[in-house]
Amino acid sequence: FQINMDEIEVLGELGKGNYGSVHKVFHRPTNVKMAMKEIRLELDESKLNGIIMELDILHRAKAPEIVEFFGAFTIESCVYYCMEYMDAGSLDTLTGGGVLAKDQKDGEPQTNGDATTNGNTDGTTSSAQERVPEDVLRRITAGMIRGLKFLKDELQIMHRDVKPTNVLINKKGEVKLCDFGVSGQLEKSLAKTNIGCQSYMAPERIKSETANQNPTYTVSSDVWSVGLSIIELAKGCYPYPPETYSNVFAQLQAIVNGAAPTLPPGYSDDANDFVAKCLLKDPNQRPTYAQLLEHPFLVADKDAEVDMVGWVNAALERRAARGISSLNPIQA
Ligand code: ADP
């Protein structure tokens, strides 16, 4: 079905990205709550229509680890992109960092679990910051890798922007990827300026972008970004903290030439080995998705019982305690 703005009721703001905001909306004809991303672009109508056509491939991107796409349309110079609403938001906001809209209203935790028992590997007490238990981290990682493998194998696309803000989770504990590079025209128009401050780009990508060469993307650049994202989730902050470096250049230097970051203490050798392999400086040495799925770290996830629902709800409670909400209501 085709979605248009007349059928949509805006419920509140979910967050702001680099290029526009994301709202929670209600689609009346289908009775479905969706997330609608507004991307403001200064483009003529034919280019905008080109983007809508390119986005059409997303109707084929149906997998348990991919945020479902419902449709896109344009109004004036904006592209509106409607997708599955993930009611616990992005992973960065659950594990420590992240900036979301103020005013808790929706997305409140449905506490059906004890906040002090999350996962089965540790039973530490709840606090504003809490280590992500290894079994939860492993399940999140497995979902990310399966999602990326699906994009590559079934749609022949790479993600290009793997980072914790682009990994969404819901209260059912499902982990899904969003914001992958599906439209060449859209990518070009957004002229990704996320080099700097918090870069998840692999060293080889940083090198080619700073040298103004044509960017060399390979799937293994996404593998680097997975490794960095896992560490960020475990640490609760970006692994190359900006305050450590005198400027962005020094920070990028550290990514390209410095020792790769590691997980904080307390994780298994398998977890550490997995991350180290993702963060190998030479992209050709990094494992493929198939190899990563066979890594002991992820093999252990296969039949594991992981209380993802309990973890999400406890993490939502901690997020609420930090004063971050997942929805900034527009209408009272
Ligand atoms: P960025 O440009 O940083 O990737 P986005 O514009 O994609 O950010 O999204 C901004 C924020 O909106 C996200 O961090 C997330 O909290 C929220 N958000 C995005 N998509 C969804 C969704 N499908 N469901 C719920 N929240 C979402």
Q: How far is CA 208 from the centre of its chain?
A: 24
Q: What are phi and psi of 200, to 5 degrees?
A: -105, 10
Catalytic site residue from 87, 92, 135, 161: 161
Q: Which two tokens stand for residue 286?
A: 């990094």
| Per-residue model confidence as pLDDT tens digits over 226-249 | 999 999 999 999 999 888 899 888
Q: How remote is the CA of residue 303 from the centroid of ligand 1, in Å? A: 31
Name the residue of 18, 25, 165 whose CB sits within 8 Å of the most ligand 1 atoms, as the mutation to test its pocket. Answer: 165
* Residue 175, pLDDT score: 98
Which residues have C-beta within 8 Å of that of residue 208, sequence separation ≥ 6? 214, 215, 216
Q: Which atom of ligand 1 is nearest to the CA of 100?
A: 16
Residue 161 is among the residues annotated as catalytic for this protein = yes
Tell me the pTM.
0.87
Ligand 1: does its nearest atom lie under 6 Å from the Cβ of 35? yes
Residue with CA at minimum distance from ligand 1 atom 9: 17
pLDDT above 90 for 202: yes
**C-alpha torsion angle, residues 227, 229, 235, 236 (rounded to 10):** 180
Q: Which two tokens stand for residue 326?
A: 């997942």
Q: How remote is the CA of residue 165 from the centroid of ligand 1, in Å? A: 7
Ligand 1: does its nearest atom lie under 6 Å from the Cβ of 140? no
Ligand 1: does its nearest atom lie under 6 Å from the Cβ of 166? yes
Residue with CA at minimum distance from ligand 1 atom 21: 35
| Per-residue model confidence as pLDDT tens digits over 159-189 | 999 999 999 999 999 999 999 888 888 888 8
Q: Which two tokens stand for residue 86?
A: 């993930």
Q: Which residue has the tokens 């059928």?
A: 7
Residue with CA at minimum distance from ligand 1 atom 26: 89
Name the residue of 10, 18, 22, 91 whose CB sits within 8 Å of the most ligand 1 atoms, as the mutation to test its pocket. Answer: 22
ipTM above 0.90, yes or no: yes
Q: How remote is the CA of residue 85 from the centroid of ligand 1, in Å? A: 10
| Per-residue model confidence as pLDDT tens digits over 65-89 | 999 999 999 999 899 999 999 999 9
* Reported confidence tier of residue 326, pLDDT bands at 50, 70, 90: low
| Per-residue model confidence as pLDDT tens digits over 8-67 | 999 999 988 777 899 999 999 999 999 999 998 888 899 999 999 999 999 999 999 999
Confirm or deny that 192 is annotated as ligand binding.
no
Residue with CA at minimum distance from ligand 1 atom 3: 17
Q: How remote is the CA of residue 45 from the centroid of ligand 1, in Å? A: 26
Q: Around Cβ 38, how many Cβ atoms within 10 Å?
A: 16
Ligand 1: does its nearest atom lie under 6 Å from the Cβ of 86? yes
Contacts 24+ apart (CB under 8 A), 296-304: 296/270, 297/138, 297/141, 297/268, 297/270, 297/271, 297/273, 298/138, 298/141, 298/142, 298/145, 298/274, 300/138, 300/270, 301/135, 301/138, 301/139, 301/141, 301/142, 304/135, 304/138, 304/139
Which residues have C-beta within 8 Å of that of residue 183, sequence separation ≥ 6? 51, 54, 55
Ligand 1: does its nearest atom lie under 6 Å from the Cβ of 18? yes
Residue with CA at minimum distance from ligand 1 atom 2: 17
Q: Which atom of ligand 1 is nearest to the CA of 20?
A: 6
* Reported confidence tier of residue 251, pLDDT bands at 50, 70, 90: very high
3-state secondary structure of 31: coil
* Reported confidence tier of residue 324, pLDDT bands at 50, 70, 90: low
Name the residue of 13, 14, 91, 169 whose CB sits within 8 Å of the most ligand 1 atoms, as the mutation to test its pocket. Answer: 14
* Percent of the chain clearing pLDDT 90 (strictly above): 66
Which residues have C-beta within 8 Å of that of residue 297, sequence separation ≥ 6? 138, 141, 268, 270, 271, 273, 274
